[in-house]
Amino acid sequence: MMTKKNTTLGEFIIENQASFQYSSGELSKLINAIRLAAKVVNHEVNKAGLVDIIGAAGDTNIQGEDQQKLDVLANEKFIQTLKNREIVCGIASEEEDDFIQVNSSDQKNQNKYIVLIDPLDGSSNIDVNVSVGTIFSIYRRISPIGTPVTIDDFLQPGRNQIAAGYVVYGTSTMLVYTTGDGVNGFTLNPALGTFYLSHPNMKYPQTGKIYSVNEGNYVHFPQGVKDYIKYCQEEEDDRPYTSRYIGSLVSDFHRNMIKGGIYIYPKSSVASEGKLRLLYECNPMAYLAEQANGKASDGFRPILDIQPTELHQRVPFFCGSSKMVEKAEEFMQRNQ
């Protein structure tokens, strides 16, 4: 891609549509719908503290986690926007118990795409003004066009993704996405309400000096992770590495992709399958990582090769600069 910086997201989508193997224009409309919903959510996030949209909503989601008010709002905005555009045939959200069947106005289920979304990743941080984000993943349906979507449309391996990305609502708001031809980042100009290409062809450095893990859970980690953390802390060669952990996957991933680093959320004695969701968090981030010359695994196998078995499945997650992930896998395999 030779697109110049400061190209608008709309212009970029049109200019690069031909590089996408399904260049019918529908995916472009879908990315545009996500862009619109992201701008609405960004507006609401920036009002946090001024109006009554921070704090717990009083409900729990399917994972048993307390829903924040902004979780509920972001979920509603993304679902509403995707439904209104009549581009998708199904939506699955981290905040919903089951997938959502979407019928077009002609009721013939002609749409080809499904979207899986984490509407507001890291939402527990919103009360303390820490960056949060949205993660999305797009697949082509595998059920016949013209029929209702099924659970199998959503339980596809991550390798089947045709697009994935995230929005980070921070000091600046960025939309970063891939359609399988590299990763590009767009920054929102709040005065104009327009996203501009600011980070073309994003790549992970092969290695880095940052490791991101919640060391407060150290005693619960498997031995392989404990040994890797000790390796990161040793004074040898280019080590010790720097520990940086925000607690918002989007923010940690974004920093590590730019600066070089590894993000780890392993299974533990208190979370036997890990905490992060395969479909809403790990698959889209793994797809982005591989498109940016990085790597993502569960410590033993590529995330994108895992066959999902349930909508809210959890997995361990090691993601980042390729050499750092490979070194972490070495420690995991030694202690298997």
Average pLDDT across each block of 10 residues of the chain; the chain has 336 residues. List them in order.
Answer: 76 78 72 91 72 48 62 90 89 95 72 94 78 94 92 98 94 93 94 93 97 96 98 94 95 97 96 96 98 98 98 98 98 92
Binding residues: 94, 118, 120-124, 214, 245, 275, 281
pTM recorded for the entire structure: 0.92
Question: What pLDDT is stored for residue 157 in this prediction?
Answer: 98
Question: What pLDDT is stored for residue 300 in this prediction?
Answer: 97
Domain ranges of the chain: 9-199, 210-334
Question: What pLDDT is stored for residue 164 in this prediction?
Answer: 97
Question: What pLDDT is stored for residue 293 in this prediction?
Answer: 97
Binding residues for substrate: 121-124, 214, 245, 275
Q: Are 245 and 261 in contact (CB under 8 A)?
A: no
**322: helix, strand or coil:** helix
Assigned CATH topology for domain 9-199: Fructose-1,6-Bisphosphatase; Chain A, domain 1 (3.30.540)
Binding residues for Mg(2+): 94, 118, 120-121, 281
Tokens of 138: 């797009």
Which CATH class name applies to 210-334?
Answer: alpha beta
Question: What CA–CA distance (Å, rounded) separates 113 from 140?
Answer: 5
Question: What pLDDT is stored for residue 61 in this prediction?
Answer: 53
Q: Are 104 and 110 in contact (CB under 8 A)?
A: yes
**291: helix, strand or coil:** helix
Element (H, E) at 43: helix 26-45
Question: What pLDDT is stored for residue 105 in this prediction?
Answer: 63
Question: 76 exposed, middle or buried (CB, 10 Å; 0-12, 13-18, 19+)?
Answer: middle
Q: What is the DSSP string of 166-212?
A: EEEESSSEEEEEESSS-EEEEEEETTTTEEEEEE-S----SS-SEEE
- Residue (of 160, 138, 157, 120) closest to 33 by Cα position: 138
- Tokens 């918002």 sit at which residue? 248
